[in-house]
Amino acid sequence: MTPAHHYPLGSALSLDRRVELLRWAAATKAILIEDDYDSEFRYTGQPLPAMKGLRGADSVFLLGTFNKALFPTLRLGYMVVPDAWLDRVLALRYQTDLYPPALTETVLAAFIESGQFARHLRRMRELYGQRHKLLRREIERTLAGVVELPAFEAGFSTPAYLPRRISVADVVARGAQLGLDLWRLDRCAIRRRDLHGLILGFAAFSERQLRDAIGLLARAIEAAD
More reliable by pLDDT, 43 or 61:
61
Question: What pLDDT shows up at residue 188?
Answer: 92
Dihedral of the CA atoms 46, 50, 53, 59 (nearest 10)?
Answer: 160
Q: Tell me: pLDDT of 98 over 90.
A: no
Q: Look at residue 47 in the predicted model and tell me its pLDDT.
A: 75
pLDDT in tens, 149-176: 998 888 999 999 999 999 999 999 999 9
Is residue 163 reached through a cis peptide bond, with omega within 30 degrees of 0 on the bond before it?
Answer: no
Of the listed ranges 10-24, 38-52, 85-99, 101-115, the one predicted with least confidence: 38-52
**For residue 193, what pLDDT is reported?**
87
Report the pLDDT averaged over residues 6-12. 89
Label residue 136 left, alpha or beta by phi (over 0 means left) and psi (-120 to 50 means alpha): alpha
Domains of the chain are 15-114 (3.40.640.10), 122-224 (3.90.1150.10)
**pLDDT at residue 91 in the model:** 93
Categorize the per-residue pLDDT at 78 as very low, low, confident or very high, splitting at 50, 70 and 90.
very high
Phi-psi region of 58 (alpha: psi -120 to 50; beta: other; left: phi over 0): alpha
Which residues lie below 8 Å from residue 38, measured CB to CB, with a gap of 6+?
Answer: 4, 5, 7, 68, 154, 155, 156
Q: What are phi and psi of 118, to 5 degrees?
A: -65, -40
